[in-house]
Amino acid sequence: MENIIVQKYGGSSVGSIDRIKNVAKQVVKAKYSNNKVVVVVSAMGNTTNELIEKAMNVNKNPSSREMDMLLSTGEQMSISLLAMAIQELNEEVVSLNGYQCKILTDDKHKKARIMDIDSTRIKKELEQGKIVIVAGFQGVSQSNDITTLGRGGSDTTAVALASVLNASKCEIYTDVDGVYTSDPRIIKGAKLLDRISYDEMLELASLGAKVLHPRCVELARKYRIPLVVKSSFNNKCKGTEIMEANNVEKVLIRGVSLDESIAKVSILEVPDEPGISYKLFNELSNNNIQVDMIIQNINRENINDISFTVKTEDLKDVQTISSELKNKINAKDLVIDKSVSKISIVGTGIAGNSNVASIFFKSLYELGVNIQMISTSEIKISCIIDNKKGREALQYVNQKFKLCGECYILEEKVV
């Protein structure tokens, strides 16, 4: 099948009836451009949060299975309303939930991963000239239970569909004009990027940039799906293209991100014995908990301290698992610190320029910010700091690397 495009519209894009009607017009316009169109839609506005609040009012500790049953209804409301709006424009359309699309996932409720998609039904509907609207964020397990993919799961649904349908591109519509050097809601004058590489976008997404979910970027990179991030409210802006690194100019610093939704977990005075770290992080992995930065302090008198960071949404499970291990190995204490943020710089030129780290650390020093943990890769440097200083540090680092105007290009010396 040719000329298939996948469009994804987030919750803000379909946050009201008027916005749904606006999306309907955009979808129909895409079809008029000689495309077969598949649309992935999130729940309207704050629907998911409202559903979670209702659940908490009924049961403070509901099962993950029943939460998935509840939360999946938000997307189903969106797809049906959007289908009705498109019908009002005299276009053939069909809405399908995750079960009807046969989006097969594993059994991890609330954080399921897509294992396979049977695209037969979608292709059949497209061949009949229909616009196909798919509920994002959800699928069905092998045991025939509804599952959800976690926050940002609609992005993943869209890219996964683009892959199995061999779509020419996947367009992610949001409430900002594209990918910026920093969060434009926080940093005035942050620069809109025309292009960014998969690797750079993956780092930014993993480090707290909320415009895309990391898993969707991973899929796009794996299957080389052309991604475009653009605004559903500003048709004049072309947005940001996400592509191969060799098609993107070599910029020293691509962006600065701040992740305020993390916590630091420390297990103190852990016996210096083989296998303890394995037991801890294997158990976290078995519970589908993603660990970010890890530090083990230098051995002293046959004991170590182990510290790591996780998303705050996982903190309850992490605390339970870590506490059980602490008791088993007779560690001294378990300390949870929720008053931290992670500030990061990302860019393809970082690894080859030691001056970048110097300027980054100097910026934090000049603000009187203490660095608690450091993590590096070829294209990023991340620091854990006090969250009270997070936004101030974000603004200052942007200024130091001149990211509120042109991106800082690699030179002999950075000043």
Q: How many CB atoms lie within 10 A of CB 362?
A: 11
Compute the distance between CA of residue 97 and CA of residue 139 in angstroms, rounded to an integer.
Answer: 8
pLDDT score recorded for residue 409: 38
Handedness of CA 199, 201, 204, 208 (dihedral sign): negative
Domains in the chain (CATH in brackets) are 4-175 (3.40.1160.10)
Compute the distance between CA of residue 325 and CA of residue 329 in angstroms, rounded to an integer.
Answer: 6
Over the Cα atoms of the chain, what is R_g? Answer: 23
pLDDT score recorded for residue 125: 97
> Each residue of 341-389: pLDDT tens digit?
999 999 877 877 778 889 999 999 999 999 999 998 888 899 999 999 9
pTM beyond cutoff 0.95: no
What residues contact residue 327 under an 8 Å CB cut-off, 6+ apart? none
* DSSP state for residue 300 in the 8-state scheme: B
For residue 11, how many C-alpha atoms fall within 13 Å in the half-sphere facing its CB? 16
Of the candidates 365, 373, 346, which has an alpha carbon nearest to the alpha carbon of residue 263? 373
H-helix segments, 180-299? 198-206, 214-223, 276-286
pLDDT score recorded for residue 209: 64
- β-bridge pairing 227-231 and 291-296: unpaired
Residues 178, 180, 183, 185, Cα dihedral to 10°? -60
Q: Which residues pair with 271 in a beta bridge?
A: 303
Q: Could you tell me the mean pLDDT of each successive run of 10 residues in the chain, 415 residues long?
A: 87 94 96 93 93 94 94 95 98 96 93 93 96 96 93 91 94 90 84 88 75 87 92 88 69 84 94 89 89 83 89 92 92 94 88 84 95 90 95 92 58 35
